[in-house]
Amino acid sequence: MTKVPGIGKVLIANRGEIAVRVARTLRRLEITCAALTHPDDTGNPAAAFVDEACPVEGESAISAYLDIDQIVSIAKRIGADAVHPGYGFLAENADFAEAVERAGIRWVGPAPETIRLMGDKIESRRFAAAHGIPVTPAASEEDDPASFSERAKEIGFPLLIKAAAGGGGKGMQIVRHPHELSHAIDLARSEAKRYFDDDRIFAERYLDEPRHVEVQIMADEHGHVVHLGERDCSIQRRFQKLIEESPAPAIEEDLRERIRAQAVLLARAAGYRNAGTVEFIVAPDGESCFLEMNTRLQVEHPVTEMVTGIDLVEEQIRVAAGHPLSSGQDEIRFEGAAIECRICAEDPERDFQPAVGRILLLRPAKGPGIRFDGGIAEGQDVTAAFDPMLAKLIVHGRDREEAIVLARQALAQTVILGCTTNLAFLERVLAHPDFISGRVETGFIPAHRTDLALPPLAEEERAALLSVAALTDRDFMASVEAVPEPYASMGDWQN
């Protein structure tokens, strides 16, 4: 008997960092864990971590990890009681959820209809608006394709063109001037088609200096819905989150309460089950608008776990097994502040282009209040095939100030060699006075580009680094040592 009655084995339909993260909880719950592997995916640390590595076939690892039929049949074959999708890949795929449930296996997530509803950005906005939650002025192309561009203009500039099926910043275009509109529409449509195989797009008002604040909710099949506080995810680059924290800094308490309540309201209205996240845009004047709801575990869920002390994966498994939530709203306590930094294989000096290499040395920061959720192992090749996120560093401090100091120390202590990472860049963001004072917004990184640029090395530092390189360079040292006596002792003497 495991610690969650009814669940003896879970297939994690994912790889890398999240697969390891989920498996860690499963192991603690004494649940057998299985995860997917593919021959091309040599750097997947989950394969060695889980109890059962299940090979999937496919031309590429990515296509294999997206192969619904195959994964469901694997789940059946190995006798999984539940499938945990992690995030990314099939996590928000209603068809997959449906196929899993049809196979008589529990789906760790909301019902397929809920996924479908929230997965459609246009439908979910309508749903939220219908329940009295403010949404940004928007126009959908499919309402009347002919008038789309006119209606978009009416929203006012700047505006955002988004994919209806979108997520992760893909297929998103900011339009600041009317003459850019048609080009942006074409671009967004083609990207939407490419990434989501769904070219429906919509336009939405773009708030300048907006903050991205989201509320974690948890619901069970017994009608309980709780929120686990909010997270600020404003520090982004290329529309993708980089640093997340909980609680959201420097916001008015009534705003905090309002969005928390709206998130619970929305979940309840949707008959939501399992973990979900309701995302809001917060304008500088404190106004908030519903953005979208994510029907899965978020990358940044650990900050919530740190401040609440609740293991979200454990809650997910319990709920999926049909158990009620372990805590009611009143029992949930928020303590201190947590910050998560996404450590990515990318070069901040080159517009965050993904970097490739091999992890030659990995020494995560350790210590009280530090959590390192890694998806990498030494010797692993970092290729362009997968998401550039290598690991997440999460810290928990008594207050935000302490968390920032701890995060900066932990980032400096974290050694990842062999591939360019954004570790030092993250540290510079945390050290920025505007970040420290909580003046964050989604345009933070481009706005502070100069401040955040790589500071030049001091001459001594440069010399020290070159010394290390030379002294550890096999050829260099062999050449130095090859000089025989008495020549070596004479130096560059000449008669």
Catalytic residue positions? 296
Stretch that binds another protein, among 59-67, 139-147, 218-226, 417-425 (CB under 8 A): 417-425
Task: Using the structure block, give the residue that is written with the tokens 């008038």.
Answer: 147
- C-beta separation of 56 from 71 below 8 A: yes
Asked if residue 492 binds another protein (CB under 8 A), the reply is yes
Q: In terms of CB distance, is 193 or 358 closer to another protein?
A: 358
**Contacting range for another protein; rule: CB under 8 A; set: 48-56, 142-150, 156-164, 418-426:** 418-426
The token duo for 19 is 């697969």
**Of 63 and 479, CB closest to another protein:** 479
Token couple for 185: 């529409």
Which is closer to another protein, CB of 310 or CB of 411?
Answer: 411
- Separation of alpha carbons 472 and 70, rounded Å: 48
Residue 384 as a binder of another protein (CB under 8 A): the answer is no
The distance of closest approach from Cβ of residue 479 to another protein in the complex, given in angstroms and rounded to an integer, is: 4
Contact call for residue 468 and another protein (CB under 8 A) = yes
Comparing CA positions, the residue from 58, 64, 100 lying closest to residue 80 is: 100
Q: Is 471 in the site for another protein (CB under 8 A)?
A: yes
Q: Contacting another protein (CB under 8 A), which of 261, 384, 424, 447?
A: 424
Nearer to another protein, 78 or 471 (CB): 471
Tokens 């999984």 sit on residue? 80
Q: Are 304 and 231 in contact (CB under 8 A)?
A: yes
Q: Which stretch binds another protein (CB under 8 A): 57-65, 330-338, 384-392, 465-473?
A: 465-473
Q: CA dihedral defined by 479, 484, 489, 491, rounded to 10 degrees? A: -50
Binding to another protein by residue 261, rule CB under 8 A?
no
Answer yes or no whether residue 350 interacts with another protein by CB under 8 A. Answer: no
Q: Does 23 bind another protein (CB under 8 A)?
A: no
> Taking a C-beta distance cutoff of 8 angstroms, is the pair 275, 218 a contact?
yes
Choose which of 344, 363, 426, 438 interacts with another protein (CB under 8 A). Answer: 363
Is the CB of 261 or the CB of 463 nearer to another protein? Answer: 463
At which residue do the structure tokens 């309002």 appear?
258
DSSP state of 476: H
Residue with tokens 């002025």: 137
Q: Which of 42, 182, 437, 479 contacts another protein by CB under 8 A?
A: 479
**Residue 411 interacts with another protein (CB under 8 A)?**
yes
- Position 469 contacts another protein (CB under 8 A): yes
- Residue 353 within binding range of another protein, rule CB under 8 A: no
Nearest CA to 441 out of 429, 455, 424, 453 is that of: 429
Q: Token digits for 74? A: 């694997």
Tell me: does residue 464 bind another protein (CB under 8 A): yes
- According to the binding rule CB under 8 A, does residue 453 interact with another protein? no
Nearer to another protein, 253 or 492 (CB): 492
Contacts of 151-154 spanning 24+ positions with Cβ under 8 A: 151/203, 152/181, 152/185, 152/203, 153/178, 153/181
As a whole number of angstroms, the distance between CA 314 and CA 328 comes to 15
Give dist(CA 247, CA 474) in Å, integer: 50
Among 119, 358, 364, 438, binds another protein (CB under 8 A): 358
How many residues at the interface with another protein, by CB under 8 A?
A: 52
CA distance 47 to 438: 40
The one among 313, 418, 435, 442 contacting another protein by CB under 8 A: 418
Q: Is 130 or 417 the residue whose CB approaches another protein more closely?
A: 417
Member of 101, 199, 427, 434 binding another protein (CB under 8 A): 427
* Stretch binding another protein (CB under 8 A), from 112-120, 332-340, 384-392, 479-487: 479-487
Which residue, 238 or 358, is less far from another protein as judged by CB?
358
Facing residues of 202 across strands?
Answer: 140, 162
- By the 8 A CB rule, do 81 and 7 touch? yes
In angstroms, the CA 175 to CA 152 distance is: 10
In the complex, least distance from residue 390 CB atom to another protein, rounded to whole angstroms:
12
351 contributes a contact to another protein by CB under 8 A: no
C-alpha pair distances (Å), 136 with each of 25, 35, 225, 248, 370: 38, 40, 25, 21, 37
Three-class SS state of 135: strand
Q: Which residues contribute to the site for another protein (CB under 8 A)?
A: 358, 360-361, 363, 411-413, 415-418, 420-421, 423-424, 427, 454, 457, 460-476, 478-480, 482-495
